[in-house]
Amino acid sequence: MKSELADLLQDYITEQRWISILRELVPAGQPASENPLDPDMPPGREEGIARIVAARLADYGLAIETPTKREGRPNVIGTLKGSDADPKVLILNDHLDTYPAGDPAQWTKTAGEPYRTTRDGDFVYARGTSDTRGNLACTLLAVEALQRAGVKLRGTIKCVYTVDEEKDGPDGSIFLLDEYGLRCDYEITCEPTGWTRPDGSWGMDIAVANSGHFLIEIETRGSKTHIWRPDTGVNAVSEMAALISALETMAFSFTPAKLPGGTPPLLTPVRIGGGVPGEMQFTPDCCKAVFAAVGLLPGMTEASVLADIDAVAQSFAGQRSNLAVKVARFPGALFVSGTCEQDGNAEPAASLTRAYRKVLAESPRYYRKNAFNDTIRFSERGFAAVTFGPGEDGWPPVNEYIRVKKSIAATRILALTIVDLLGVAA
């Protein structure tokens, strides 16, 4: 790659330009774009942010499509065709929905306004900065820089921005791949893979694999009694509390993966409820809890995960008197499988690695990302897909942030990767 092209792209990729795009994206369509993972909660509506992203892509000269499965939830596809008759196709991907912001009072870095983009030194705070509108801004700026530099690509680039990612993709990536017919040769999801050490040094890994997850509902059922004689009944809440300890320390059956992931396969409680309003004079005879199985590796299935959990639950119940335990899929939950490792020496990881070395003068690490992202949906359908982005992999639930210098480096890496993968027309 000619050094003058790299220098020219660097001139167009500046902090001022990236922050300008980020400030437009973060509050767009909020809070309607909040989309909780909870299957029993209403889905988000991403049309507000979708309109802004589509308009920006159109300004860059890309052809726009907005495939929509559910009203109010348009996916955005911007296509810049290459000059070759049979070009390679690269998809740059991000999602348009966000986690709910929760209690505004907890957002101390943004003065109680979760969607007010607030810079403090090298940090920018707001909901969606790290997951994933800060990363989305990198993809937009990378394409903008190529257009401003007059780069004509031999291959085709598609900017694919999905809805419903936070709920594992039924109206987004699954719809686009299985119903709309979206296809590519290479796919890069620009989601958080960044890290920062205690000494302040930082970098961005390339996720060549992902862990899976699953939501499970567990019910304990005992026998109701008066609170004056709790010893004569089986308190379902007390039994659930003891069962949780057993489930949190249980061992799943699985085959170790080449890249194991930051979190091993484990179970953690995320919701619990028991007792009936108006019956505080009685001990509860039923308690339900929802658990998240995370860190799932290739080969682990819905059936195997449920069987492992049920074995622990029934062993626990067998050591009690008059206690029944039921284990089942949480209604509406999707089982997300862990994906196999992509070859770091093959595309698109190879081009990302070369660009990373050029920008940061060191090599990135390859790893298995724990959190869900659309890479999984591409990878499990056989596409060469990886994840790379400046957001912190493990950002805080409140006072979410992204690093400015890391984001500028990522944008330059993405721009150089696009050129490397797709080639420049004569």
What pLDDT digit, counting tens, does each position of 155-177 carry? 999 999 999 999 999 999 999 99
Strand-pair category, 266-274 with 212-221: unpaired
The answer to whether the predicted template modeling score (pTM) of the entire model surpasses 0.85 is yes
Among all chains, which residue has been given the structure tokens 């069987």? 307
Burial 230-269 (b: 16+ CB within 10 A, else e): eeebbbbbbbbbebbeebeebebebeebebbbeebbbbeb
Q: Is 243:253 a contact under the CB 8 Å cutoff?
A: no
Q: What local confidence, expressed as pLDDT, does residue 2 receive?
A: 55
Give the closest residue to 272 by CA, choosing from 288, 286, 285: 288
Looking at residue 4, its pLDDT comes to 74
H or E stretch at 110: none
192-232 confidence digits (pLDDT tens): 999 999 999 999 999 999 999 999 999 999 999 999 999 99
User: Which of 25, 17, 262 has the alpha carbon at shortest distance from 135?
Assistant: 25
Closest CA to 419 of 351, 346, 358, 361: 351
Rounded Cα distance between 25 and 161, Å, is 13
Q: Smallest Cα–Cα separation from 407: which of 192, 142, 138, 204? A: 138
Structure token pair of residue 418: 């696009």
For the four alpha carbons of 386, 390, 391 and 393, in that order, the dihedral sign comes to positive
**CB under 8 Å to 198, separation ≥6 — which residues?**
none
Distances (CA, A) of 196 to 32, 64, 106, 294, 355: 31, 37, 23, 23, 20
Q: Pairing relation of β-strands 202-204 and 194-196?
A: antiparallel
- According to the model, what pLDDT value does residue 3 have? 66
Written as six digits, the tokens of 372 are 């869900």
Residues of the chain with pLDDT under 50: 1
Pair of tokens at residue 350 = 């190879």
Percent helix, strand, coil in the chain (nearest 5)?
35, 25, 45
Three-state secondary structure call for residue 352: helix
Q: Can you read off the two tokens belonging to residue 371?
A: 């959190």
Strands (DSSP E) contained in 225-372 are 266-274, 286-296, 324-329, 366-369
Euclidean distance between CA atoms 414 and 204, whole angstroms: 12
Rounded Cα distance between 345 and 347, Å, is: 7
CA distance 167 to 182: 20
Helices vs. strands in the chain: H and E counts, helices first: 10, 17
Distances (CA, A) of 349 to 2, 301, 403: 21, 27, 23
Of 388, 408, 402, 395, the closest CA to residue 121 belongs to 402
> Which phi and psi angles does 125 have, rounded to 5°?
-105, 145
- The reported pLDDT for the residue numbered 1 is 47
